[in-house]
Amino acid sequence: MDIQLEKKKGLRAKHYGYIALGLLLLFVGYQFLFASSVSTFRTDKEKLSVATVTDGKFDDYITISGNVAPITTIYMDAYEGGRVSEKLIEEGATVKKGDIILKLENINLYEQILQSESNLALKQNDLRSTKLNFDSRQVEGRKSLATASTELQRLKRNFEQNQALFDDELISREEYLTSKENYDLSKKQFEIIKMQTENDDELRETSLTGLDADLNRMQKTLGMVYQRLDHLNVRAPADGQLGFLDAEIGQNISQGQRIGQINVLTDYKIEANIDEHYIDRVKRELVAVLERNGKQFPLRVRKVYPEVRNGRFKVDLVFTAEKPETIRTGQSYNIRLQLGESNDALLLPKGSFFQSTGGQWIFVVTADGDEAIKRNIRIGKQNSKHYEVLEGLEAGEKVITSNYDSFGEAEKIILK
């Protein structure tokens, strides 16, 4: 009798192949699903801006906008405070240096002038009185000196006569000694009067010199007060145009308050604000060009201001040759500022993608035009039309230059 053998259960060799194939299909499907959901973005081609990378000359310049301003602006500050009593010239008028623009009045200043004049008059009277006293003492001193000198001569002569008589024993010794004592006393008195007179003369000279100096100082002080009085007439500091005037009749003006400005119109400058990205490259003496009505007018950078405000810094440019005939203060012009020499480079047209990527990467369109792949790049200089590409792209490649904000974290763009 035949015995039926039971078949062994388990995996056979062919089963391992099926399992491996299934795992591979599962892995590929997972990768496809993950890539599609995480790193892929679909959009219409018509919604995007696509540009071609080319070889060419890179012009190292930037286009900036500037406003025409007077070559020099002189501010007018009030030397003296006061109330505006008269306004002689209005804003926008042409003025000459020294023209009176405003008249002020200041009661306190008028009182100071009166007080200074009164003090000067008193000082002058004191000086005259002192001079008279010194002159009187000088006359008296010289009279005393003359009397003493005459008396000295007389007593000297008497002494010499008595000395001769005494030697001949014609007068007594007492009479001789008396004449000698009178002569000696007269010499001492003469020396004292002479010394006093000399001292009086020195005192007179010193005192009068000091009084004269005081008087001169007071006269200068009064002159300065008169000058302050003249400063109540606000005058134009230079020839030009009265740009603005912040003063009305009856208004009180404080000392040092800014009340206006004079625009010197002998020449003009262009004031421009530039993005802080270029602050290390913009220097004095750089050249620029202003184009108007098909004609170019050369400029140069005269001053670079160091302050950065709201991401921009200021420069002043001046004309190096002729300027537009119809130029007026406040006009706006587009200016091409040359930062360096032109050179051969790989050129990428400018686009808003830069705001999203900072120029560190870009989406490159594939040859079939159906996809765009994210690629790292390196950008150098830039002008108003192109970026200079240093790494990551080749001439002829097409890239997406429109804004990337809607792409999110996508690594690949599907173009429909």
Tell me the residue length of the chain.
Answer: 416
The model carries a pTM of 0.51
Structure tokens at 153: 């001569």
Query: Helix, strand, or coil here: 306?
Result: strand
Long-range contacts of 242-245 (CB under 8 A, 24+ apart): 242/89, 242/90, 242/91, 242/92, 242/93, 242/94, 242/95, 242/101, 243/70, 243/73, 243/91, 244/91, 245/87, 245/89, 245/90, 245/91, 245/101, 245/102
pLDDT, position 83: 92
pLDDT in tens, the chain (416 residues): 445 545 445 555 555 666 767 676 766 555 555 444 447 888 888 889 999 999 998 888 888 999 998 888 889 999 888 999 999 998 888 899 999 999 999 888 888 888 877 887 887 787 778 788 878 888 888 888 889 899 889 999 998 898 988 888 888 899 989 989 999 998 999 899 889 888 888 887 887 777 778 778 877 877 777 888 888 899 999 888 898 898 899 999 998 899 999 988 888 899 999 999 888 889 999 999 998 888 899 999 999 999 999 999 999 999 998 888 888 888 899 999 988 888 888 999 989 899 889 889 999 999 888 899 999 999 988 887 889 999 999 999 999 999 998 888 888 989 88
* DSSP letter (8 states) at residue 194: H
pLDDT, position 11: 53
CA atoms within 13 A on the CB side of 150: 6
Phi-psi map region of 190: left, alpha, beta (phi>0 left; psi -120 to 50 alpha)? alpha
Residues facing residue 290 across a β-bridge: 297, 335
Between CA 220 and CA 353 the distance in angstroms is 72
Burial of 71 (0-12, 13-18, 19+ CB in 10 A): middle
Between CA 144 and CA 197 the distance in angstroms is 9
Contacts of residue 330, defined as CB under 8 A and 6 or more positions apart, other chains included, come to 67, 68
Burial of 19 (0-12, 13-18, 19+ CB in 10 A): exposed
Where would I find the H helices in 168-234?
Answer: 173-230
The CA distances from residue 313 to 97, 287, 305, in Å, are 34, 18, 7
Residues facing residue 296 across a β-bridge: 291
pLDDT, position 313: 94
pLDDT, position 207: 77
